[in-house]
Amino acid sequence: MAALLVVIVTLGGLALSAPARAFGPSVLFAPSGTCNRPYCTTYAKSTQTNTGRILASFEDNNQPAAGQTLPIFSSINNGQSWTKIAAVADTSARRWGSNWTNPYLYVLPQAIGSMPAGTILLAGIASPPDRSGTSIQLYRSNDDGFTWTWVSEVAVGGGEWGSANPTPIWEPYLLVANNRLIVYYSDERDKANHDQKIVHQTSTNGVNWGPVVEDVAMADRALRPGMPVVTRMANGQYLMVFEMVGQSNTPNNYKISATPESWNAASGGTTIDYGGSPFVFTLPNGRLAYNSYGSGDIRINTGNGAGAWTPVRTTMPRGYSRMLQYVRGTGRVLILSVEGFWVDARNSVYYGDVELGNSAGAYYKLIYRRSGKAMDVYQANLQDGAQPVQWADNGRCPSRPVERHRRPRPAVATRPGVLTHP
């Protein structure tokens, strides 16, 4: 695989310029005044619409619990600055009155029922102000996030911990596959068998929902798999990541399936790292980008889930369910980070971006004149100080012509770290 360099390198005296540097961490939202919960904010999520606008939402307790809304922030400059454009109130048929937590934003890649491709969806947890019940409510926007209409209720659970009926549901995640809209979520309603399990339901129209299907449901009732995230990999298979609360250090595990609706529910998967609240998505170059509460790093996997998950440093703080968003306008990855609900502090929502080897701007292919081969990095290693090697050019990488040197000389990075993509 021919390498694309995104750092300044010299090859026998030839110097090349790097693309623009990543920005952040910066503050997207800082609470002021009174919050109805000590931590104020948590659980930030984002999506990019078909127009290129980036939308973000999060749990915003910097308002009264009665009538609470899910905020919608917008960026029209690839995540560099943000403006609040909407607040999604509980207009569901249930009318519990508080759009509370766990927002997830998603752009339909195809029509689902009467909703055309490009429709923006928002799934979140609505509750009464006293949090005595939980429900997953689905909303849609047809105008780039400025206005929202209620679509349907996916599922209903009991109240949060400490309520009279502590059997809640949490953390919806949306995916379209096989002409169906899938909502994965964490489910505490089956206490006799599982303290918590991961399940999903499907719909062909976004209005009528099928039965609950178990995805991760452990024989050890005390274990609490949760926070599911699913991505379709470059090989067509699907990878699910989730946390396993109840085991030492809270492992973050993954499972792979040929279909996103069948996951061998009894299997606890394979551990990537520890710390809980994982997130994963597939980059345009086919690599998997992953992070969790265990580190501020992003981990990259080049083997469709097999092999190493190599850490890449970021400037961003770790966060609870920290969001990774590929940005089409820059080719970089936007990170939204905010602390968790257990923190007795007023959390702010932070944003920044990072280069993972697919950035818009100047890319160069370095060809050795004598061998005719391209400069690469041994075994696609993403670690700082990785060994450069010569490799056959497979022609898959965009490039710009550069001067060819008369004989190969060692390549030396002017600062540590070389990122490549196939």
My answer on whether 298 and 404 are in the same domain is no
Does 147 lie in the same domain as 236? yes
Measuring CA to CA, which residue among 121, 125, 130 is closest to residue 72?
121
Average pLDDT of the residues in 273-294: 97
| 3 pLDDT above the threshold of 50 | no
List, as own/partner pairs, every contact residues 202-208 make where C-beta atoms lie below 8 angstroms and the sequence separation is at least 24, other chains included. 202/261, 203/112, 203/113, 203/152, 204/112, 204/113, 204/179, 204/180, 205/112, 205/113, 205/114, 206/112, 206/113, 206/115, 206/121, 206/138, 206/140, 206/151, 206/152, 206/181, 207/113, 207/151, 207/152, 208/152
Give pLDDT tens digits for 257-269: 999 999 999 999 9
124 lies in the same domain as 214: yes
When pLDDT is averaged across residues 159-163 and rounded to a whole number, the result is: 93
Q: How far is Cα 172 from Cα 105, in angstroms, rounded to an integer?
A: 10
pLDDT number for residue 395: 67
Q: Closest by alpha carbon to 338, among 351, 324, 325?
A: 351
Q: What is the pLDDT of residues 24-63, one digit of tens each?
A: 999 999 999 999 999 999 999 999 999 999 999 999 999 9
321 lies in some domain: yes
Q: Is residue 367 part of a domain?
A: no
pLDDT at 327: 97
Extended beta strands in 246-342, E state = 251-257, 270-274, 279-282, 288-291, 298-301, 310-312, 323-326, 333-337
Longest dimension (CA), the chain: 78
Q: Tell me the two tokens of residue 184.
A: 């994965």
What average pLDDT does this structure show over 55-74? 98
Identify the DSSP state of 318: P
Domain match, 397 and 294 both: no
pLDDT (tens digit, 9 = 90+) per residue, 183-233?
A: 999 999 999 999 999 999 999 999 999 999 999 999 999 999 999 999 999
Selected residue with higher pLDDT from 23 and 179: 179
- The pTM assigned to this predicted structure is 0.85
Same-domain pairing of 9 and 36 = no
* Cα(125)–Cα(168) distance, integer angstroms: 10
CA distances from 32 to 41, 94, 184, 295 (A): 11, 30, 33, 28
Asked whether residue 399 is assigned to any structural domain, the reply reads: yes
CA distance readout (Å), 144 to 52, 73, 105, 109, 349: 9, 11, 12, 15, 22
pLDDT given for residue 400 in this prediction = 33
271 pLDDT band (50/70/90 cuts)?
A: very high
In the beta sheet, which residues pair with residue 47? 55
CATH code of the domain containing 294: 2.120.10.10
Same domain assignment for residues 267 and 287: yes
Task: Tell me the residue range of the domain where 130 lies.
Answer: 26-354
> Does a structural domain hold residue 421?
no
Query: Are residue 407 and residue 277 in the same domain, yes or no?
Result: no
In this predicted model, which residue has the larger pLDDT, 228 or 419? Answer: 228
Kindly indicate the confidence band of residue 2, based on its pLDDT and cuts at 50, 70 and 90: very low
The domain boundary residue, chosen from 354, 385, 401: 354
Q: Which residue has the higher pLDDT, 19 or 202?
A: 202
Whether 10 and 70 map to the same domain: the answer is no
Domain identity same for 117 and 2: no
pLDDT at residue 374, rounded to an integer: 84
Residue 349, domain member (yes or no): yes
422 assigned to some structural domain: no
Kindly report, residue by residue over 366-417, the tens digit of the pLDDT. Answer: 888 888 888 877 766 666 667 788 878 876 554 333 333 333 333 333 333 3
State how many domains the chain has.
2
The answer to whether residues 420 and 379 touch, using CB atoms and an 8 Å cutoff, is no
Do 155 and 75 share a domain, yes or no?
yes
The model's pLDDT over 316-358, given as tens digits with 9 standing for 90+, comes to 999 999 999 999 999 999 999 999 999 989 999 999 999 987 6
Q: Are residues 11 and 34 in the same domain?
A: no
Are 227 and 328 within one domain?
A: yes
DSSP 305: T
To the nearest whole number, what is the mean pLDDT of the chain? 88
- 366 within some domain: no
Do the domain assignments include residue 132? yes
Q: How confident is the model at residue 1 (pLDDT cuts 50, 70, 90)?
A: very low
In tens, the pLDDT along 83-139 reads 999 999 999 999 999 999 999 999 999 999 999 999 999 999 999 999 999 999 999
